[in-house]
């Protein structure tokens, strides 16, 4: 009887990783930086920055355009919120090919420090001009989109506020002082529009919220930019908190033909006026009930009277508390071209001022973009670095809006944008005389990278 020949059984392929080995293939875990690099150079921002920093470049060392481009991409990448991360990337050929530079031209943290230590304080106005150039391009595009949708843009609201930029442990940094919040740091003044930073004033920690003419120096060029883009009849409003409660600022804004909603003070004069006024119910959104009153007020240091609005908030179904114990909000309203005594839609203006809570989200997004610690000991170097942070912050937001169709990405925080748009794997291969970035098919389809690649090559250019 012949023996039975049994076929050897095939062992199933294991599903787990059995070993780890090195490879010389060019690979990356932040493949989205390739798209971001194209967007950065197509936007036309680099010639503007080269013009600002050309007097401070070194004849030896890295080319100025390459240094600025690598630094902006590194800030938008956000893998490590410190300059030491640049040194870790210097030996990565995949990263060098991804951002389009030779491996020997990758910048180091020491080169960045030497560059920033040559920059003086006087560079701030020029960097603010670059922020305004980006703002003008964004405003023009947003106005065109509103016009195509049948809702022309008639009013521009600028949100102004200061931010305590904490510097824990920084005891020997110039400009780091105790702030009004009891922590050491800087106290910059920022102006936002729809989440973008459009103007900034970098200040030491002991600076008051409304110090000198800082607000005027930031706002006046912005008014000119808005009227140049939208026309001289554009309506402009400034929204701020009670830190800018100043009669001289009110008068100056009124002279500029600009409206404002600026927080007021719950002092004796306001309490007496409220006692003579009647609160009317405005709206109830289910979680909070709002009542308000309004009156025209004059103060000894005001050159003319302004309208003041006081709101009270409490939960529905509860009895309103006493006037001195309830949550309240006071703000001063000025409508250009109208007298303070003219009738107004009270609910409309209360809702507009309550949107100031959304303005605070801009500060939250900025802190989410980069940790608050700044790397240098000199004030001028930290000031220039802070402005580059703001430019990189605006660029990342603009990249999401201009290149991707998902509206959820347009309102996302920087951490979400980096995770969705930058943080995916890729392999760089050479085919003929071209370098090609290979992306996994599921990611390629989910992000619609074929369309994104076309869009990043056709973005609005910032003309010099």
pLDDT tens, position by position, 244-256? 999 999 999 999 9
Q: Let me know if residue 394 belongs to a domain.
A: no
Residues 6+ apart with CB under 8 A from 249: 210, 215, 216, 262
Q: What is the CATH number of the domain that holds 317?
A: 3.90.350
If asked whether residues 206 and 337 sit together in one domain, one would say yes
If asked whether residues 158 and 114 sit together in one domain, one would say no
Q: What is the helix (H) or strand (E) element at residue 292, kind and residue range?
A: strand 289-297
Q: Is 341 helix (H, G, I), strand (E, B) or coil?
A: coil
Q: Let me know if residue 15 belongs to a domain.
A: no
What pLDDT is attached to residue 8?
62
Q: Let me know if residue 71 belongs to a domain.
A: yes
Contact 107, 71 (CB under 8 A): yes
How far apart, in whole angstroms, are the C-alpha atoms of residue 371 and residue 381? Answer: 17
Q: What is the helix (H) or strand (E) element at residue 144, kind and residue range?
A: helix 124-148
Structure tokens of 79? Answer: 């893998």
How far apart, in whole angstroms, are the C-alpha atoms of residue 369 and residue 391? Answer: 12
If asked whether residues 225 and 153 sit together in one domain, one would say yes
If asked whether residues 95 and 242 sit together in one domain, one would say no
What pLDDT is attached to residue 107?
94
Helices and strands, number each (H, E), in the chain: 17, 15
Q: At what angle do helices 379-403 and 109-116 cross, to 10 degrees?
A: 110
3-state secondary structure 172-195: CCCCCEECCCCCEEECCEEEEECC
Q: Let me know if residue 1 belongs to a domain.
A: no
How far apart, in whole angstroms, are the C-alpha atoms of residue 369 and residue 61? Answer: 29
Total domain count, the chain: 2
Q: Let me know if residue 332 belongs to a domain.
A: yes
Contact 77, 419 (CB under 8 A): no
CB atoms within 10 A of CB 132: 19
What pLDDT is attached to residue 307?
93
If asked whether residues 252 and 324 sit together in one domain, one would say yes
If asked whether residues 135 and 178 sit together in one domain, one would say yes
How far apart, in whole angstroms, are the C-alpha atoms of residue 32 and residue 400? Answer: 11
If asked whether residues 78 and 150 sit together in one domain, one would say no
- In tens, the pLDDT along 19-57 reads 877 878 888 888 999 999 999 999 989 999 999 999 998
How far apart, in whole angstroms, are the C-alpha atoms of residue 147 and residue 436? Answer: 39
Q: What is the helix (H) or strand (E) element at residue 129, kind and residue range?
A: helix 124-148
If we measure between CA atoms, which residue out of 158, 157, 159, 179 comes closest to residue 168? 179
How far apart, in whole angstroms, are the C-alpha atoms of residue 445 and residue 261? Answer: 46
Which parts of 261-378 fold into alpha helices (H)?
A: 268-275, 346-354, 356-369
If asked whether residues 166 and 186 sit together in one domain, one would say yes
Q: Examine the fold and report which residue of 303, 334, 369 is the final residue of a domain before the chain moves on.
A: 369
If asked whether residues 40 and 126 sit together in one domain, one would say no
Q: What is the helix (H) or strand (E) element at residue 69, kind and residue range?
A: helix 64-77
Q: Let me know if residue 418 belongs to a domain.
A: no
Q: Let me know if residue 397 belongs to a domain.
A: no
Which residue is listed with tokens 């404002």? 260
CB-count exposure of residue 308 (10 Å: 0-12, 13-18, 19+): buried
Structure tokens of 223? Answer: 């008014």
Average pLDDT along the chain, 464 residues, taken 10 residues at a time: 59 75 81 94 92 88 91 92 89 90 92 94 96 95 93 94 84 84 90 96 92 94 96 94 93 95 90 86 80 89 90 72 62 91 89 88 91 89 96 95 91 93 91 88 93 90 62
Q: What is the helix (H) or strand (E) element at residue 263, kind and residue range?
A: strand 259-263
Q: Examine the fold and report which residue of 369, 401, 435 is the final residue of a domain before the chain moves on.
A: 369
Structural domain that includes position 63: 26-118+424-455
Q: Examine the fold and report which residue of 336, 369, 402 is the final residue of a domain before the chain moves on.
A: 369
Q: At what angle do helices 379-403 and 45-53 cross, to 10 degrees?
A: 170
Give the bridge partners for 436, in sequence order: 429
Q: Let me know if residue 408 belongs to a domain.
A: no
Contact 250, 262 (CB under 8 A): yes
If asked whether residues 265 and 280 sit together in one domain, one would say yes
Phi, psi dihedral angles at 71 (to 5 degrees): -70, -40
Residues 6+ apart with CB under 8 A from 447: 404, 420, 421, 424
If asked whether residues 244 and 231 sit together in one domain, one would say yes
Structure tokens of 42? Answer: 């197509």
Which parts of 244-378 fold into alpha helices (H)?
A: 247-255, 268-275, 346-354, 356-369
Strand order in 306-314's β-sheet?
A: 196-201, 189-193, 155-162, 235-240, 259-263, 328-334, 306-314, 289-297, 280-284
Contact 209, 229 (CB under 8 A): no
If asked whether residues 336 and 313 sit together in one domain, one would say yes
How far apart, in whole angstroms, are the C-alpha atoms of residue 141 and residue 43? Answer: 13
């Amino acid at each position: 009887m012949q023996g039975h020949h049994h076929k050897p059984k095939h062992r199933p392929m294991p599903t787990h990783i059995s070993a780890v080995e090195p490879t010389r293939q060019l690979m990356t875990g932040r493949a989205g930086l390739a798209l971001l690099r194209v967007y950065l150079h197509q936007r036309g921002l680099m010639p503007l920055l080269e013009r600002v920093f050309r007097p401070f470049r070194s004849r030896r060392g890295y080319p100025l355009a390459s240094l600025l481009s690598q630094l902006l991409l590194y800030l938008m990448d956000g893998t490590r919120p410190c300059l030491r991360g640049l040194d870790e990337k210097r030996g990565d050929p995949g990263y060098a090919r991804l951002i389009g530079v030779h491996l020997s031209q990758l910048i180091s943290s020491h080169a960045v420090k030497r560059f920033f230590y040559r920059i003086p304080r006087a560079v701030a106005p020029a960097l603010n001009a670059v922020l305004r150039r980006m703002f003008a391009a964004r405003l023009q595009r947003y106005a065109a989109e509103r016009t195509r949708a049948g809702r022309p843009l008639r009013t521009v609201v600028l949100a102004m506020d200061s931010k305590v930029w904490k510097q824990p442990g920084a005891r020997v940094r110039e400009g780091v002082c105790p702030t009004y919040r009891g922590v050491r740091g800087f106290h910059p003044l920022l102006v936002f529009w729809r989440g973008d930073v459009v103007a900034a004033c970098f200040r030491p920690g002991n600076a008051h919220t409304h110090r000198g003419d800082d607000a005027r120096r930031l706002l006046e060029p912005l008014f000119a930019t808005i009227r140049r883009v939208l026309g001289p009849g554009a309506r402009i409003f400034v929204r701020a908190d009670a830190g800018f409660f100043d009669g001289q600022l009110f008068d100056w804004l009124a002279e500029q033909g600009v409206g404002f909603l600026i927080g007021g003070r719950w002092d004796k004069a306001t309490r007496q006026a409220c006692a003579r006024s009647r609160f009317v119910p405005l709206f109830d959104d289910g979680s909070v009930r709002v009542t308000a009153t309004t009156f025209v007020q004059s103060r000894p240091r005001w050159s003319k009277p302004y309208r003041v609005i006081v709101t009270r908030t409490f939960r529905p179904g509860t009895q309103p508390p006493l006037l001195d114990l309830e949550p309240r909000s006071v703000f001063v309203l000025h409508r250009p071209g109208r007298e303070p005594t003219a009738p107004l839609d009270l609910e409309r203006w209360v809702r507009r001022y309550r949107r100031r809570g959304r303005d605070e989200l801009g500060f939250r997004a900025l802190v989410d973009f980069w940790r608050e610690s700044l790397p240098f000991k000199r004030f001028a170097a930290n000031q220039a670095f802070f402005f580059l942070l703001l430019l990189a912050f605006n660029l990342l937001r603009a990249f999401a809006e201009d290149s991707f169709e998902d509206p959820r990405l347009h309102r996302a925080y920087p951490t979400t944008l980096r995770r969705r748009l930058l943080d995916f794997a890729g392999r760089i291969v050479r085919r003929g005389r071209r370098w090609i970035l290979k992306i996994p098919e599921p990611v390629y389809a989910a992000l619609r990278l074929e369309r994104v690649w076309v869009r990043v090559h056709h973005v609005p250019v910032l003309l010099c």
